[in-house]
Structure 1
Amino acid sequence: MDPVRALKDAGPTPFWLDDPGRPQATSALVADTSCDLLVVGGGYNGLWTALIAKERDPSRDVVLIEGEEIGWAASGRNGGFCESSLTHGLSSGMDRWPGELAELERLGMRNLQAIEDTIKKYGIDCDWRRTGSLNVATEPYQIDDMHEFAGLAARYGCEQTVLDADQVRAEINSPTFLGALWDKDGTAMLNPAHLAWGLKQACLDLGVRIHEHTSATAVAEAGPGIAVRTPYGRVLANRVALATNAFPSLLKRHRLYTVPVYDYALMTEPLTDEQLASVGWHNRQGFSDAANRFHYVRLSADNRILWGGYDAVYHYRGRVRAEHDQRPETFATLARHFFWTFPQLEGLSFTHAWGGAIDTCTRFCAFFDTTHRGRVAHTAGFTGLGVGATRFAAEVMLDLLAGERTERTELEMVRRKPLPFPPEPIRWAGIQATSRSLARADENSGRRNLWLKTLDRLGLGFDS
């Protein structure tokens, strides 16, 4: 069967958001107001910022505004991998902050546990499962890299178990798997939309004033405070936290630090008991493959398979538009790769096919800044690993807004920003050259060409 035929009934809505339990949106802001803290953005980062601010000081008056609805963008349509890494993986952290990597790993594991504790504290029903994750080898050269990585992880107290072909296929049965690296404790799987909606309810219960369908259009100083304009009213705040990520920052000075790239995913219909038995997957780990152009894959609570990744598409001038959310050529590629990986599932259909923008920066993990004499904080650049790292970033922003020196604000990762992207058309040309080079490396046993080696020397290397 042509794999593309499995897409014939796939709807364009992200699976997680296609949920009859989706909460009703709160009312838009239609009058001027004031508050102690204004949070701009209703994704994970903004929600964590509002929640933690109220936990730190229940008397603080916190307002959160969101241009659409809570969790409608990347926070509601991602793969649901909640990882401990704050640095886009151990190798990336080693390349950039070797002197503080042990501390970053410790803080990352503490952050992951804090997310789990919060979910339990507020009774958030988001199918949280501390399964760990597999990074699977589909080419022989990738196996040697996994043994090397396991040794590096052990130096930082992270247990990573190398599996041979028989062992990984006993976990998840695919004829393409030659080995894997199993991180048993550093990743949890969850329902991403339910997490966003649960955090929204927790914020409301603590007294956060949330206004959806309320976009921020400008930010400026106003006497001792900060004024943020919206279509129908102005918010005057003592402090402001900007959590807009892939969307253009209200601060023009930050717009060269990130670019939006489009990521895509498919979701299958639920597997029958026989189909699931043919795949195994008893421990329900999420997995990704070890190529540069990688897939990320997981089971849902009702035994569907989410199959995403591979293509990461940048549009000239960084345009974020709804029409980019659908890309049939990518969906066709993903469908072919799915049935190549799981030939025993021939005949399975996809029910959902979706995409959307995520933000990335030149160091592939979050960066931080303050403006307006320390009264506005900003973070962005999560590069697809924001489910967990956004909570840590929220704590950093609140520390910065409070003017506090903490173990977080003392990190070089927090104190230094990445290199900005060049302006167009150089940006476009550089991203396209990198994308083509990464594809060639996958076809050439991982060997990186001169362009990628140059980026590595500049601290801009990208290998995942």
Structure 2
Amino acid sequence: MDPVHALQDARPTPFWLDDPGRPEPCPALAGTTRCDLLVVGGGYSGLWTALIAKERDPSLDVVLVDGHEVGWAASGRNGGFCESSLTHGLANGHERWPGELARLERLGEQNLQAMEDAVKRYGIDCDWERTGSLTVATEPHQVDELHGFAELAARYGTELTPLDAAAVRAEIDSPTFLGGLWDREGVAMVNPARLAWGLKRACLEQGVRIHEHTPAVALAASGPGIAVRTGYGRVLAGKVALATNAFPSLLRRHRPYTVPVYDYALMTEQLTADQLAAVGWQGRQGFSDSANQFHYVRLSADNRILWGGYDAVYHYRGRVRAEHDQRPETFATLARHFARTFPQLEGLRFTHAWGGAIDTCTRFSAFFDLAHGGRVAYAAGYTGLGVGATRFGAEVMLDLLAGERTERTALEMVRRKPLPFPPEPVRWAGITATRWSLAQADRNAGRRNLWLRSLDRLGLGFDS
């Protein structure tokens, strides 16, 4: 039977958000209010910024606004991989900041531990599991690449454990696995929506004023502060932190630096005890494969399998629209790939199928900026690894707004921005050519064509 039949009852909504424990939204802002710090955006980036601002100074009056509801966008739709990497992986960090990568790795480890500590301190019920993760090879050339990554990690003080085919299949059994690399400490699994909702509750308990269904539509200087116009009113703030990620920045000059890319995922029904035994998975690690068009996979707390990734879809002019959240051709591809990876689970059905936009930039990891004389800070470009890195980004934005020189603000990664994307239609043509070339490389033992090699030399590219 065609594996696509397993999709026939899948609900077109993110699994994590389809939760009876979803909190009621906070009232929209109506009229004018004043505050010391306004945070625009109710995803992880904005929530951490608001919470840490109150931790640093409990007397600070902090307002957070979101155009929809807290955790509704990428923060409630992702795979729930909370990684220590701040650089979209070790290889990307080595390519761009070799001189400070050891420091970035250390800061990333500290950041992940600080997240775990906050989850415990605020009693956030988000199924936090410090399982680590596996990167698996599914093609022969990828086995040697994984050994190279392990050697690279050792140079920067990070231990990654190489596994041969038998060892990786002893962890998670798939006939497609030829080898693996185990990061035992640097990744936690989390229920992403419950993490966002838990952070919302923590913010409210610390005195943050949250207004949902309150889109911020314009920003301008106003005397010694900043005025942000919203749907029904405005906020007069001393300082502003912009945490809008995939959505267009209120600062027009920042818009060329990011593009929204659509990512897709499926969730299976609950596995029976026999089905779970058929794949092993006693360690409950998440895993991803080594292809350019890769999959990310993990178990939920109730033993469903999330199967996501592969396609990363850019729409002309970077349109973020609700209709892009569903893409049947991608769901069909994912279903067929799942069946090939886990043939022992034939007949398992999918209960949810969804997508959503993430932001990416030309260096694949976050960048930062100040505007309006240091009164507005901005962070974006997390490229799919924002569950953990957004907390670090929040710390950076608050350092910048405070005018403090810290270990974070001294980083070249923080001081320099990536190259912007070209205007349309060159942007669309370049991204399309890159996606086609990456798929070709996957089919040709990883060999990169002239287009990809040229992008490599320029420090540009496209990734998910």
- Give TM-score scaled by structure 2 length: 0.99
Equivalent in the alignment of 1:435 = 435
Equivalent in the alignment of 1:146 = 146
Shift, 1:463, TM fit: 6.4
Equivalent in the alignment of 2:286 = 286
CA distance in 2: counterparts of 1:83 and 1:287, whole angstroms: 12
Match of 1:99, SS?
A: coil
Q: Write out per-residue CA displacement over residues 333-388 of structure 1, whole angstroms, 9 at most, x where no aligned residue.
A: 00000000000000000000000110000000000000000000001000000000
Shift, 1:190, TM fit: 0.4
The answer to whether the 8 Å contact 2:267/2:351 transfers is: yes
Shift, 1:462, TM fit: 4.9
**Structure 2: runs of 5 or more not aligned:** none
The within-5 A match list for 1:357-376 is: 357-376=357-376
Higher alpha-carbon deviation: 360-369 or 453-462: 453-462
The answer to whether the 8 Å contact 1:453/1:461 transfers is: no
The answer to whether the 8 Å contact 2:434/2:461 transfers is: no
CA distance in 2: counterparts of 1:463 and 1:53, whole angstroms: 32
Q: Percent identical across equivalent pairs? A: 81
CA distance in 2: counterparts of 1:417 and 1:157, whole angstroms: 26
CA distance in 1: counterparts of 2:166 and 2:298, whole angstroms: 20
Instruction: Verify: 1:455 aligned to 2:442, yes or no.
Output: no
Opposite residue 156 of structure 1, the aligned amino acid is Y
Q: Write out per-residue CA displacement over residues 26-61 of structure 1, whole angstroms, 9 at most, x where no aligned residue.
A: 000011000000000000000000000000000000
Equivalent in the alignment of 1:336 = 336
Superposed CA RMSD in Å reads: 0.6
Equivalent in the alignment of 1:114 = 114
Q: Write out per-residue CA displacement over residues 297-352 of structure 1, whole angstroms, 9 at most, x where no aligned residue.
A: 00000000000000000000001000000000000000000000000000000000
Match of 1:428, SS?
A: helix
The within-5 A match list for 1:168-183 is: 168-183=168-183
Shift, 1:170, TM fit: 0.4
CA distance in 2: counterparts of 1:258 and 1:147, whole angstroms: 32
Shift, 1:156, TM fit: 1.0
The answer to whether the 8 Å contact 1:438/1:463 transfers is: no
CA distance in 1: counterparts of 2:461 and 2:43, whole angstroms: 28
Match of 2:67, SS?
A: coil
CA distance in 2: counterparts of 1:327 and 1:440, whole angstroms: 22
Opposite residue 314 of structure 1, the aligned amino acid is Y
CA distance in 1: counterparts of 2:165 and 2:224, whole angstroms: 63
CA distance in 1: counterparts of 2:307 and 2:375, whole angstroms: 41
CA distance in 2: counterparts of 1:102 and 1:348, whole angstroms: 43
Opposite residue 379 of structure 1, the aligned amino acid is A
The answer to whether the 8 Å contact 2:431/2:462 transfers is: no
The answer to whether the 8 Å contact 2:435/2:462 transfers is: no
Shift, 1:461, TM fit: 4.1
The answer to whether the 8 Å contact 2:383/2:463 transfers is: no
Change (3 A) 1:463 1:30: closer
The answer to whether the 8 Å contact 2:278/2:344 transfers is: yes
CA distance in 2: counterparts of 1:225 and 1:390, whole angstroms: 25
Shift, 1:242, TM fit: 0.2
Match of 2:241, SS?
A: strand
Q: Write out per-residue CA displacement over residues 237-282 of structure 1, whole angstroms, 9 at most, x where no aligned residue.
A: 0000000000000000000000001000000000000000000000
Shift, 1:131, TM fit: 0.4
CA distance in 2: counterparts of 1:357 and 1:67, whole angstroms: 15
The within-5 A match list for 1:179-328 is: 179-328=179-328
Match of 2:459, SS?
A: coil
Change (3 A) 1:293 1:214: same
CA distance in 2: counterparts of 1:224 and 1:77, whole angstroms: 38
Opposite residue 39 of structure 2, the aligned amino acid is V
Instruction: Verify: 1:444 aligned to 2:444, yes or no.
Output: yes
Equivalent in the alignment of 2:393 = 393
Equivalent in the alignment of 1:23 = 23
Q: Write out per-residue CA displacement over residues 157-204 of structure 1, whole angstroms, 9 at most, x where no aligned residue.
A: 111000000000000000000000000000000000000000000000
Equivalent in the alignment of 1:48 = 48
CA distance in 1: counterparts of 2:166 and 2:120, whole angstroms: 36
Aligned positions, number: 464
Shift, 1:231, TM fit: 1.3
Change (3 A) 1:216 1:365: same
Opposite residue 419 of structure 2, the aligned amino acid is L
Shift, 1:460, TM fit: 1.2
- Give TM-score scaled by structure 1 length: 0.99
CA distance in 2: counterparts of 1:314 and 1:326, whole angstroms: 14
Shift, 1:446, TM fit: 0.3
Shift, 1:234, TM fit: 1.0
